[in-house]
Amino acid sequence: MPYAKRSDLPENVRSSLPEKAQDIFKEAFNSAWERYKDPSGRRGDASREETAMKIAWAAVKKKYTKKDGEWVTK
């Protein structure tokens, strides 16, 4: 389901990502949630949530990298 605010994000996202990365995650997830409403647009038998999660993490990884256990800007 879409996330209205940062505090709605999953605990692992809130506890590991900086606030700006959380915003990227939230926006990408919400966009993918809407875009992949129809199962025919998803790969294989991936659920809507699984697809949105993968896209959200990919969006974060475009701007951030994990270094010494922490997410930092590239």
Instruction: Give the residue numbers spanning the domain of 56.
Output: 19-63
Q: List pLDDT tens digits, range 1-30.
A: 899 999 999 999 999 999 999 999 999 999
Domain assignment present for 38: yes
Structure token digits, residue 20? 């700006």
Provide CB contacts within 8 A for 37, sequence distance 6+: 48
Domain assignment present for 51: yes
Structure token digits, residue 39? 């199962």
Per-residue confidence (pLDDT) for residue 23, from 0 to 100 = 98
Sign of the torsion formed by the C-alpha atoms of 62, 68, 69 and 71: negative
pTM (two decimals): 0.92
Domain of residue 26, CATH code = 1.10.1740.70
